[in-house]
């Protein structure tokens, strides 16, 4: 990225609320009037460290490794709940209808990619897991549905990590969602993570979910993720602590396996360094990372912010990042809303089970859309 690109910035207030907002269980960061830039991750980290005290740098990181990030620098709102999204009026509840042709093509493409992945495990011994995703699109006529959809996310999923961010200058494109996954939380030299992998539907009771998630396929999928995170953390840490066994984590429409990890970092290890080491993780990409990433680029269109990261950085070097999942993208120019969901594919995967898993995950945002 050139210096000119890194310095280009805008200030644009959207008509539907704050351009950047992230709500966790304990904290909300809403930036009503940010300076928005597209820049490298390293430049974003430097700008966060040099920001005036009291300001934060919101950050939106794409799935694709080394892609430019979007940043939002400014003072956080003292009243985040009211500033995040303006309340929708009666004209905001625009009906959304499925784009049947697009959705049928996506289903066919996903099933073909799944077959190609299963063949790839036989021919490439270094490809052990790959996360495949599929999209689903809905269209509208009339009033843009931004306020309606964003308000629905907050109403339906108050216990999730909720987020939204405009991704272009005119605020016409917005990514939003309610993710279950904390990527990392850093305070001082201590970093906490809770990677999630292994998914069964929420229609199962907790006991039933636990029994199913303890089967070899799900345990192996989860182990690959935890081993990746821990091995890479050891390269920049003085100590890494991992829970002995994964726990069952409820997440909107599904149950996951999750393992808490805590690391004491060496001095001067930044969040940017951790992102470079750990992202995209096997939770959204696969094992081997390079092999899985190359495979995904062959069978999917560019993911952009799906499976990326969203969060904030502080002048003290602290911050939190969440995995941008269970989300949607609102495109005001094209008058469509695109949902996306995926799942980890291994040699033990069954196509019908994997397709059903993506449907279970899509259901979170289907409820928001109203279908």
The DSSP-derived string for 280-325 is: S-TTTSEESHHHHHHHHHHHS---TTTT-EEEEE-TTS-EEEEE--
pLDDT at site 87: 74
- Give the side-chain half-sphere CA count within 13 A for 107: 12
Buried residues in 221-246 as b, exposed as e (16+ CB within 10 A): bbbbbbebbbebbeebbeebebeeeb
Distance CA 134, CA 145 (A): 23
Specify the residue for token string 């109203």.
370
Task: Tabulate helix, strand, coil % of the chain (nearest 5).
Answer: 35, 30, 35
Q: Cα(351)–Cα(132) distance, rounded to whole angstroms?
A: 12
Residue 170: the pLDDT is 66
How far is Cα 161 from Cα 257, in angstroms, rounded to an integer?
Answer: 17
Cα–Cα nearest to 343, from 289, 302, 290, 307: 307
pLDDT at residue 5 in the model: 43
List of the chain residues with pLDDT < 70: 1-15, 88-94, 169-171
Report whether 315 contacts 55 (CB < 8 A).
yes
């Amino acid at each position: 990225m050139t210096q000119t690109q890194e310095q280009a910035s805008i200030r644009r207030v959207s008509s539907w609320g704050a351009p950047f907002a992230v709500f966790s269980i304990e904290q909300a960061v809403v930036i009503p009037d940010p300076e928005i830039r597209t820049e490298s991750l390293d430049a974003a980290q430097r700008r966060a460290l040099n920001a005036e005290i009291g300001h934060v740098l919101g950050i939106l990181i794409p799935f694709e490794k080394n892609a430019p990030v979007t940043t939002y620098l400014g003072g956080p709102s003292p009243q985040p709940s009211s500033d995040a999204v303006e309340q929708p009026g009666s004209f905001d509840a625009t009906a959304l209808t499925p784009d049947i042709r697009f959705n049928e093509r996506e289903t066919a493409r996903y099933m073909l990619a799944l077959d190609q992945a299963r063949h790839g495990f036989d021919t490439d011994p270094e490809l052990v897991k790959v996360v495949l995703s599929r999209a689903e699109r809905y269209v509208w006529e009339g009033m843009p549905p931004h306020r309606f959809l964003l308000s629905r996310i907050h109403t339906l999923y108050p216990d999730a990590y909720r987020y939204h961010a405009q991704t272009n200058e005119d605020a016409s494109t917005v990514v939003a969602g309610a993710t279950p996954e904390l990527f990392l939380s850093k305070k001082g030299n201590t970093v906490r993570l809770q990677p999630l992998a292994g998914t069964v539907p929420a229609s199962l009771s907790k006991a039933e979910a636990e029994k199913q998630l303890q089967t070899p396929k799900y345990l192996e999928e989860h182990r690959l993720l935890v081993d990746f995170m821990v091995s890479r953390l050891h390269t920049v840490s003085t100590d890494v602590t991992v829970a002995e066994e994964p726990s069952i984590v409820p997440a909107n429409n599904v149950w996951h396996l999750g393992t808490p990890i805590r690391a004491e970092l060496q001095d001067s290890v930044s969040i940017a360094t951790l992102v470079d080491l750990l992202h995209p993780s096997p939770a959204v990409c696969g094992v081997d990372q390079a092999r899985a990433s190359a495979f995904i680029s062959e069978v999917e269109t560019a993911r952009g912010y799906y499976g990326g990261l969203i969060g904030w950085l502080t002048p003290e070097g602290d911050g939190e990042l969440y995995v941008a999942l269970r989300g949607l993208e609102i495109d005001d120019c094209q008058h469509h809303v695109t949902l996306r969901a995926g799942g980890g594919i291994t040699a033990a995967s069954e196509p019908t089970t994997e397709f059903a898993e993506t449907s279970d995950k899509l259901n979170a945002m289907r409820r928001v859309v109203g279908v």
